[in-house]
Amino acid sequence: MTSSGRRILILGGGFAGLYAARRLQRTLAPRRDLEVVLISRENYALFTPMLHEVAAGDLDPADIVIPLRKSLRRVRLVQAEVAHVDLQARVVRYLVGPLQRLRELTYDYLLLAMGSETNSFGIEGLQAAATMKTLGDAALLRNRMVALLEEAAQETDEGRRRRLMTFVVAGGGFAGVETVGAMNDFLRDTVRYYPELDASMLRVVLVHPGDVVLPELGERLGRYAQTKLQQRGVEIRLRTRVTGYEDEAVNLTTGDAIGTMSIVWTAGVTPAAALGPLPVDKLKGRVKVNEYLEVAGHEAVVWAAGDCAAVPNGDGGVHPPTAQHGMRQAIAAAKNMEAVVTGATQRPFRFSTIGQLASIGHRTGVAQIFGMRFSGFVAWWLWRGVYLSKLPARSKKLRVAIKWAFDLLFPREIEQLVTLRDVEGMEKLGATLRAMRGAPEPPAGRAVTKA
């Protein structure tokens, strides 16, 4: 980029950020008077619909990530944590590396695509809960399940052994149902290799505040999913919420408690923390945009797309924060940025949900596509086919297809890849890094490097 050139800055390397950057790479990035920059917390984009397959051991972590530097050769990648966005000064400040060094970039055009984070709603004790938002979450959940079975195999106290063999998932939406189905399959396949354990002591519980799981798919498919999960040994607690986790027990609104050493929280998300201080209109934390995906008061300069954006749907509501909407919003925002740069006319975002699918374990699924409902093996096959086609890279499609083919012929692996020794080593490294950078200071108090 020349000294007089302009900069397009994309914040977030998830679905929305990746697809916007890929579009701009083909159209605006080749221009000598423009620079396209993507700031991402990781140097890869994560294909989140397949996270539960990593937790179940059906896929490896590398199978569902897209390396950003390989995909975006003409886009400048900055791996960092966004700390502060100054819309008036058109400056983004971000933290780089383990020492959290503060740097900043100016921009001429900005796309907010920072996704969402887990929201525990301040419930006491959920700091110890596992989540299913990141690649590390899925990989660590699988390791945790193996570790708890290993410990249970050596436990002589029956009460503690039962707690070690009890697994609770909170939240009956897509993430919760797919996670509990994958966990149940993995645990029931794996416990057979532990002669010290009685499989009847294995307990997998799904806690859901509604009357039926998967409410987005309607009552019929939700009840089908419930029935199938229950037939495979999952205990479902409806019209129930988690109120806390303490003393190795999950407390519920019903007044009773479930003794467990493992709770997985999938019951809520919130937009990225860096968006909180932005002086713009929001809806439940999501940045409000107009039909062109522009942020009010910053038209033709700032757009937002994906989970962090409240995009009007034309009926008085907003589009749901799903991958299929986020990808299309990102492409639409990128096209509108192109229009502003080239002097063309922006186009409004229009999109209706094509369908929704969920895998509920044991080669069974539920799906609603173009108003038609599917369940059982056909829906599971549709789920795999649709999401395999959506993987951005051909190499990843081939890798996943091969893994799934092997899954039909051979049992899944049950090795524990992260042990207590590894965790202790990471804790020591974290303590060393914290000591090196000292007590954290607010961004305004740090030295800033202009990039």
> pLDDT (tens digit, 9 = 90+) per residue, 43-73?
999 999 999 999 988 898 999 999 999 999 9
What pLDDT was estimated at residue 423? 56
Q: Which residue type does 370 have?
A: F
Q: Which two tokens stand for residue 252?
A: 């519920």
Q: Which two tokens stand for residue 150?
A: 């290993």
Domains 6-41+80-118+270-342 and 126-267+355-409 share a fold: yes
Q: Give me the CATH code for the 6-41+80-118+270-342 domain, please.
A: 3.50.50.60
Mean pLDDT of 13-42: 95
pLDDT at 411 over 50: yes
Of the pLDDT bands very low, low, confident and very high (cuts 50, 70, 90), residue 86 is very high
- Of all residues in the chain, the percent with pLDDT exceeding 70 is 91
Mean pLDDT (the chain, rounded): 91
Mean pLDDT of 377-390: 93
pLDDT at 39 over 90: yes
Angstrom distance (rounded) from CA 275 to CA 278: 5
What pLDDT was estimated at residue 428? 66
374 contact partners, CB below 8 Å, separation of at least 6: 365, 366, 367, 368, 382
What is the maximum span of the chain, computed from C-alpha positions, in angstroms? 74
Q: What is the pTM of this model?
A: 0.89
pLDDT tens track for 240-294: 999 999 999 999 999 999 999 999 999 888 888 899 999 999 999 999 999 999 9
- Least confident segment among 218-232, 233-247, 358-372, 398-412: 398-412
Q: Tell me: domain 126-267+355-409, CATH 3.40.50.720, correct?
A: no
pLDDT tens track for 335-368: 999 999 999 999 999 998 889 999 999 899 999 9
Q: Where are the domains of the chain?
A: 6-41+80-118+270-342, 126-267+355-409
Q: Which residue has the higher pLDDT, 409 or 130?
A: 130
Query: Computed from CA positions of residues 56, 61, 63, 68, in that sequence, does the dihedral angle turn out positive or negative?
Result: positive
pLDDT at 419 over 80: no
pLDDT at 425 over 90: no
Q: Where are the alpha helices (DSSP H) in 391-442?
A: 394-409, 420-437
- DSSP SS3 for 231: helix
What pLDDT was estimated at residue 427? 63
**Virtual CA dihedral for 305, 306, 309, 314, nearest 10 degrees?**
80
What pLDDT was estimated at residue 444? 45
What pLDDT was estimated at residue 2? 44
Q: Which residue type does 188 have?
A: R
DSSP letter for 312, please. Answer: B
Angstrom distance (rounded) from CA 115 to CA 262: 26
pLDDT at 412 over 80: no
Mean pLDDT of 398-412: 85
DSSP letter for 294, please. Answer: B
pLDDT tens track for 142-169: 999 999 999 999 999 999 999 999 999 9
Q: Contact at 8 Å (CB) between 207 and 214? A: no
Q: Contact at 8 Å (CB) between 58 and 149? A: no
226 contact partners, CB below 8 Å, separation of at least 6: 212, 213, 236
Q: Which two tokens stand for residue 355?
A: 């369908």
pLDDT tens track for 156-214: 999 999 999 999 999 999 999 999 999 999 999 999 999 999 999 999 999 999 999 99
